[in-house]
Structure 1
Amino acid sequence: MHVLLTGSSGWLGRFLAPRLRAAGHRVTGLDVAAGADTDCVGSIADADVVRAAFDRGVEAVIHGAALHKPDIARYSEQAFIDVNVTGTLNLLAAAAAAGHDRFVFTSTTSLMINQAIRDEGGDAAVWLDETVGPLAPRNIYGVTKLAAEGLCRLYSIEHGLPCVVLRTARFFPEDDDTLTHPSGENLKANEFLNRRLTAQDAAAAHLAALERAPDIGFDTFIISAPTPFAREDVRRLKSNAVEVILEKFPDAADLYAARGWSLPSSIGRVYDAGHAEWRLGFRCSTGFSDILAALRDGSDMPFNHDPSYVSPKG
């Protein structure tokens, strides 16, 4: 299959393009920045750029291009609307006109987090699955990604274009731009309990969605490492997360201490990826137990950490 991959020069693109080719697909990469996997340089906000990419004979779209949360400091709200909303509309319209039978959209769990959830008030962790709502994103990034999800749903209903929306949890390699403690690898390791996945698993989820889209029609999936917790844990996760973690992983505290790391004392939200497992047939291969396994045998962490990474921009 000839796949148009937008965002081909970005973090996801560098993992996804090779996997698509390894699976036997032909890939045309489209990105505003040049890159090893990018064939067409230009903005998806430009309908002529999108049209030129489709003229290459693409048969399906994986749409990963976007302005992201860190870009809020560098770009205007209008730029977010142009890229994240108008760009998505341009791609959907071109795919529908071409008679495509699959469209995969990279969304984000960030749009599920309103300010109250962000502030982590209350006496229990918030259990987040695809039924949570109404959604009230707290910034222009979330607002525009939610609008793009709505366009995918609309094109599925009105044009019969099968669209799969993947709300990916965190898989960026750089440091968090708001949290300072714990930092670096320690924070990323902790997040595999409730809100992170590897870039490799993110890429694998997109391949699964590409394959299953015609059968699914339209659906939205949280993509995150499988949490070891259950809904019954939410109150104790908020008040004493370490206790809950050690019940499930008795040697975690010692392994962390040997590395100079700290376990989270409180967890305020948990992403439940169960819907993706039973309907999409996808489960992330890396979870918190793999973090502990690496600590036990002294091997490299099974995730990417690069504090100097900056998303490429045109």
Structure 2
Amino acid sequence: MKLLLTGSTGWLGRHLAPLLEASDHSVLGLDVAPGPFTHVIGTVADRALIDRTFADHGIEAVIHAGALHKPDIARFPRQAFIDTNVTGTLNLLEAAVAAGHDRFVMTSTTSLMISQAIRDEASPKAVWLDEDHGPLAPRNIYGVTKLAAEGLCRQFALETGLNCIVLRTSRFFPEDDDTLSDPPPENLKANEFLHRRLTVEDTARAHLVALEKAADVGFGLYIVSALSPFARSDCAALKRDAAAVIRQHFPDAADLYASRGWRLPQQIGRVYDASRIERDLGFRCETDFAAVLEALRSGTAMPFAHDGGFRSPSLDGRALIEGARR
């Protein structure tokens, strides 16, 4: 199948493109900055470019992984998020329908599920987040525009019959957190596998499965995250003493962490439930918190990437992103 992959220069794109090609798909990458898997330099907000790309390359399906992300809030005005994340998604959906496509996969984010109250951890217990959680009240322009893009996918599936799968991915970025510095980055990433992280490799695999299963689903929206060891019944205890709950599930976790100079989280304020995608699509992340502990136990490398110097393609594609507003 000839696929258009947007965001092909980004962290996900550079892992997803070779996986798709290894599965006998032909991938045409589109991004605002050059990369080894990017063939078309441009923005999804440019409708003429999208139409030309579809016409010139015989695109048969779309995986839409390109977007402005939360760290871009400090770099771009709100309008740039609307142009890229909303108008860009609309451009791709309309082009896909016009081309007679039967499947469309979009990368979304669990970030849009986090209201300011959840972010502030105002609840006396951890918030259990699954696909039925609501009402949704995104706390920033990133979440607002990704929620709008999800709505477009839902509407197109309903009105045109285009099979759309939206993947709300939890954290898989390699760089340091742009707001948290304690605990240190690798310790923080390891902790997050308990409740809100997955590897980029698992993220890529989820997109391949979604592409393969889209025609059987119609419209589907799924949280994609490493499966948490916790249950809803743990939520109060997670807010009160998360380390104690973790030790119940993993008795040697504290000692393994201490051997590396790491700390277990004392509180966990939210948990993403990724069980629905396993039930519906048969997908489950290969790397979880148990794999992190096994790496500590065996002295092998961590099963996740950390790159504090990772450079977002949006920095190199600033002129194209800003030019879409002119």
Q: Which whole-Å CA distance do the structure 2 matches of 1:210 and 1:102 have between them?
A: 7
Q: Which whole-Å CA distance do the structure 2 matches of 1:67 and 1:30 have between them?
A: 14
Preserved contact between residue 44 and residue 91 of structure 1 (Cα < 8 Å): yes
What stretches of structure 2 of length at least 5 have no aligned partner? 318-326
Q: Look up the SS of the partner of 2:165 in the other structure.
A: strand
Alignment partner, residue 194 of structure 1: 195
Q: Which whole-Å CA distance do the structure 2 matches of 1:185 and 1:100 have between them?
A: 41
Q: CA deviation at 1:129?
A: 0.0
Q: CA deviation at 1:51?
A: 1.0
Alignment partner, residue 108 of structure 1: 109
Equivalent AA in structure 2 for residue 16 of structure 1? L
Matched, 1:146 2:147: yes
Alignment partner, residue 220 of structure 1: 221
Q: Which whole-Å CA distance do the structure 2 matches of 1:68 and 1:280 have between them?
A: 26
Alignment partner, residue 41 of structure 2: 41
Alignment partner, residue 12 of structure 1: 12
Q: CA deviation at 1:52?
A: 1.8
Alignment of 1:294-309 (within 5 A): 294-309=295-310
Equivalent AA in structure 2 for residue 14 of structure 1? R
Q: Look up the SS of the partner of 1:4 in the other structure.
A: strand
Preserved contact between residue 28 and residue 38 of structure 1 (Cα < 8 Å): yes
Alignment of 1:97-136 (within 5 A): 97-136=98-137
Alignment partner, residue 61 of structure 1: 62
Alignment of 1:138-287 (within 5 A): 138-287=139-288
Matched, 1:82 2:118: no
Deviations 1:150-175 (A, max 9, x none): 00001001111000000000000001
Preserved contact between residue 30 and residue 53 of structure 1 (Cα < 8 Å): no
Alignment partner, residue 26 of structure 1: 26
Q: Which whole-Å CA distance do the structure 1 matches of 2:124 and 2:242 have between them?
A: 12
Q: What's the C-alpha RMSD, in Å, of the aligned pairs?
A: 0.5
Q: CA deviation at 1:219?
A: 1.1
What stretches of structure 1 of length at least 5 have no aligned partner? none
Preserved contact between residue 114 and residue 135 of structure 1 (Cα < 8 Å): yes
Q: Which whole-Å CA distance do the structure 1 matches of 2:210 and 2:14 have between them?
A: 18
Q: Look up the SS of the partner of 2:246 in the other structure.
A: helix
Q: Answer with 49-58 or 241-250: which moved more.
A: 49-58
Q: Which whole-Å CA distance do the structure 2 matches of 1:101 and 1:189 have between them?
A: 38
Q: CA deviation at 1:259?
A: 0.1
Equivalent AA in structure 2 for residue 239 of structure 1? R
Q: Which whole-Å CA distance do the structure 2 matches of 1:49 and 1:196 have between them?
A: 34
Q: CA deviation at 1:201?
A: 0.2
Deviations 1:233-285 (A, max 9, x none): 00000000011000010000000001000000000000000110100211000
Deviations 1:70-107 (A, max 9, x none): 00000010000000000000000000111100000000
Equivalent AA in structure 2 for residue 295 of structure 1? L
Q: Which whole-Å CA distance do the structure 1 matches of 2:44 and 2:240 have between them?
A: 45
- Give the 4+ runs in structure 1 shifted more than 3 A: none
Query: How many residue pairs align between the two structures?
Result: 314
Q: Look up the SS of the partner of 1:11 in the other structure.
A: coil
Q: Which whole-Å CA distance do the structure 2 matches of 1:102 and 1:252 have between them?
A: 43
Deviations 1:197-255 (A, max 9, x none): 00000000000000000100001000000000000000000000011000010000000
Q: Look up the SS of the partner of 1:3 in the other structure.
A: strand
Q: CA deviation at 1:122?
A: 2.1
Q: Look up the SS of the partner of 1:106 in the other structure.
A: strand
Q: CA deviation at 1:53?
A: 1.5
Q: Which whole-Å CA distance do the structure 1 matches of 2:31 and 2:49 have between them?
A: 10
Percent of aligned positions that are identical: 66
Alignment partner, residue 310 of structure 1: 311
Q: Look up the SS of the partner of 1:265 in the other structure.
A: coil
Equivalent AA in structure 2 for residue 275 of structure 1? R
